[in-house]
């Protein structure tokens, strides 16, 4: 397993924190409206070097790219697919192995509050479906689940061969929150069985999974067994380590040490199953001095606690000897 730190492409203190925390791998995040021109090889090459200048190996691209035309089968989906393929080709040329993407259209990662009072005056992100239940679109089928499966299959047919050739692994992130629809827009990647179906759509090693623990914890079955079983398929390339309290319709994110997930047991499950991908810590509450407004869930100080906690968990497990880098 390789610990990684997610760093928005603009340099911040977090870039220095990564090295100071002893982390060697970077996940490049770009947020909607702040897209980095990954399709431009020269710009991408400079970005890789920018991370290297901070002692970091850029290993994962987790960009919220505009892919809705592809997801909905719109008229310019092939143009978006071409652009995605160019990005993946660039990744291959630069030796960046993992492309994290998701299949949420129109409404992406969704929280209804970023200011939930948490331990000691910290502020957490959370979701409460009751706030959006009466959305005027709630009963509609603005985008059907069937469409999303069809477009996903189309996407994989076109992109998996390109990723294979480039030596890049696609890693599907679950819907967040994992609900079958949100405000009339269908969602499909919200269950363990959906991820099994995803794997069955293409046997290629390039067709893989991002195990976002906060979401998988809200799906069917036993979380720890699901970690073990999916990691054992060999196709989990990336993991997000998060804790929370609640269920898929109402939850809040917690510090790593005070949510409902047994984090020791979870970490043990990844290592027992021989997880060899990249893992980053996921959302955390914002602490005094953090700017929750900038990138909710990604505040710098909350991260320091989370990463120290993760390193402590790993060091406490004998399985760590099997190789954590």
By CB under 5 A, name the binding residues for Mn ion. 212, 240
Q: Pick the closer one to Mn ion by CB: 235 or 240.
A: 240
Q: Pick the closer one to Mn ion by CB: 6 or 164.
A: 6
**Cα separation, 245 vs 279, whole angstroms:** 21
DSSP-based three-state secondary structure for 306: helix
- CB–CB of 286/299 below 8 Å? yes
- CB–CB of 62/32 below 8 Å? no
Tell me the two tokens of residue 222: 């036993």
**Residue 174 Cβ, how far from Mn ion at the closest point, in Å?**
7
Tell me the two tokens of residue 241: 């380590």
**Residue 14 Cβ, how far from Mn ion at the closest point, in Å?**
17
Phi-psi region of 243 (alpha: psi -120 to 50; beta: other; left: phi over 0): beta
| Residue showing the smallest CB distance to Mn ion in the complex | 212
**Residue 179 Cβ, how far from Mn ion at the closest point, in Å?**
15
Query: How many CB atoms lie under 10 A from the CB of residue 53?
Result: 10
Residue keyed to tokens 């492409």: 9
**Cα separation, 192 vs 172, whole angstroms:** 12
Q: Pick the closer one to Mn ion by CB: 50 or 173.
A: 173
Q: Pick the closer one to Mn ion by CB: 50 or 240.
A: 240
Q: Pick the closer one to Mn ion by CB: 81 or 212.
A: 212
Q: Find the DSSP H helices in the chain.
A: 13-20, 41-53, 68-72, 77-94, 145-166, 192-201, 213-216, 223-232, 263-272, 300-315
Q: Pick the closer one to Mn ion by CB: 164 or 175.
A: 175
**Residue 73 Cβ, how far from Mn ion at the closest point, in Å?**
25
**Residue 60 Cβ, how far from Mn ion at the closest point, in Å?**
12
**Residue 165 Cβ, how far from Mn ion at the closest point, in Å?**
28
């Amino acid at each position: 397993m390789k610990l990684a730190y997610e760093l928005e492409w603009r340099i911040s203190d977090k870039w220095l924190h990564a090295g100071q925390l002893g982390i060697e791998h970077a996940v490049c995040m770009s947020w909607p409206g702040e897209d980095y021109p990954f399709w431009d090889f020269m710009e991408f090459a400079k970005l890789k070097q920018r991370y290297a200048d901070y002692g970091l190996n850029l290993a994962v691209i987790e960009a919220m790219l505009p892919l809705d035309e592809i997801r909905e089968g719109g008229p310019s989906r092939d143009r978006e697919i071409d652009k995605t393929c160019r990005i993946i080709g660039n990744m291959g040329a630069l030796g960046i192995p993992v492309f994290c993407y998701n299949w949420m259209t129109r409404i992406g990662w969704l929280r209804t509050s970023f200011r939930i009072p948490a331990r000691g005056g910290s502020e957490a992100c959370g979701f409460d479906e009751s706030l959006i239940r009466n959305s005027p679109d709630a009963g509609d089928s603005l985008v059907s689940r069937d469409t999303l499966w069809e477009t996903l299959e189309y996407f994989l047919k076109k992109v998996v061969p390109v990723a294979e050739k480039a030596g890049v692994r696609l890693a599907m992130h679950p819907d967040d929150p994992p609900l079958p629809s949100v405000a009339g827009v269908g969602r499909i990647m919200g269950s363990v069985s959906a991820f099994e179906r995803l794997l069955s759509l293409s046997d290629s090693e390039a067709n893989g999974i991002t195990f976002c623990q906060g979401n998988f914890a809200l799906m069917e079955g036993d979380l720890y067994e699901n970690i073990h079983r999916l990691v054992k398929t060999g196709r989990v390339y990336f993991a997000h380590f998060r804790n929370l309290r609640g269920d898929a319709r109402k939850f809040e994110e917690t510090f790593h040490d005070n949510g409902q997930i047994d984090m020791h047991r979870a970490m043990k499950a990844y290592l027992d199953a021989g997880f060899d991908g990249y893992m980053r810590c996921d959302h955390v509450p914002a602490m005094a001095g953090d700017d929750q407004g900038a990138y909710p869930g990604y505040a710098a100080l909350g991260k320091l606690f989370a990463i120290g906690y993760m390193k402590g968990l790993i060091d406490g497990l004998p399985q760590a000897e099997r190789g954590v880098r």
